[in-house]
A = this chain, B = another copy of it.
Amino acid sequence: MSETNRVDFGFELSEVDPSSTPGFHGSKKDGEKALADEAKELSDQQERLFAASKGGSKRSVLLVLQAMDTAGKGGIVRHVVGQVDPQGTSLHAFKAPTEEERAHDFLWRVERQLPQPGMIGVFDRSHYEDVLIGRVRQLAPAAVIEERYEQIVEFERLVAESGTAIIKVMLHISREEQGERLLERLDRPDKHWKFNPGDIDERQYWDAYMEAYQIALTRTSTEQAPWHVIPANRKWYARLAVQRLLREALKGIDPQWPAADFDVDFEKARLAAS
């Protein structure tokens, strides 16, 4: 399923239909059932990843979530990442950088949030903001932004080589869908807290953002850290697609229960005598 969303040579973001459900032919109801049905397996895989780290494995998973506002990053965390033991996940939402963060290289704050061995780390936004809003809103000189793509590729290569399986996801919604979701946040008092007037400001730059995504996706999708563009007009589909990417990454790691680092019979005897 996920391979169909992967960014490879010749990829064109404009050709992806945000309402499509590539690789899945069922209904919304089927999709929701599949999401629920596969929760246990995902949870089991996560526990095994965590356990393996106690035996010395350095493997971990990093899920990078990027998207336009309202595309559903929060829903992915809640409904997919929320399916596994919270003790095995570490979440970090990257906001506009603080003064301290701006005093460092743009990757500094990212490096500090990388997942520990055994963990599934989730980035809600990431270092890609520095080539997305950074590019669209010209927050740095063009030449500086130009250098960042290569810096990101190099950084992610090191992260992957250290044992982290990197999954990069762009949740792709249409401009119309965003309009409807923003309107819902304005219509419903219980959604007002999710609305930020700045979201409408950024919406004016939609085409520039799509261009910045196209550039970032194609220049930083590598074998070790590929991008996946997931159509997200249908929330249920996007969640299922991310769940499957996580499951595939964990299957690739294939973590094993670690061997005992103690003498089982000796400890049984001590326990019996206690």
Contacts and interface: CB of A to CB of B under 8 A. Distances in A.
Interface stretch (A10-18, A185-193, A209-217): A185-193
Interface stretch (A165-173, A238-246, A259-267): A259-267
A93 B192 CA distance: 34
Interface in A79-128: 81-82, 84-87, 89, 91, 93, 124
Interface string A163-203: 00000000000000001001100100110110101001001
A258 B193 contact: yes
A271 B182 contact: yes
Interface in A45-83: 51, 54-55, 74, 77-78, 81-82
A77 B85 contact: yes
Given A186-B271, A271-B183, A193 B51 contact: yes
Contacts of A183: 268, 271
Contacts of A262: 195, 197
B87 A192 contact: no
Interface size class of A (residues with CB under 8 A): 35 or more
Given A54-B193, A179-B274, A274-B179, A186 B86 contact: no
Given A190-B257, A257-B190, A257-B193, A200 B267 contact: yes
Interface of A: 51, 54-55, 74, 77-78, 81-82, 84-87, 89, 91, 93, 124, 179, 182-183, 186, 189-190, 192-193, 195, 197, 200, 203-204, 257-260, 262, 264, 267-268, 270-271, 274
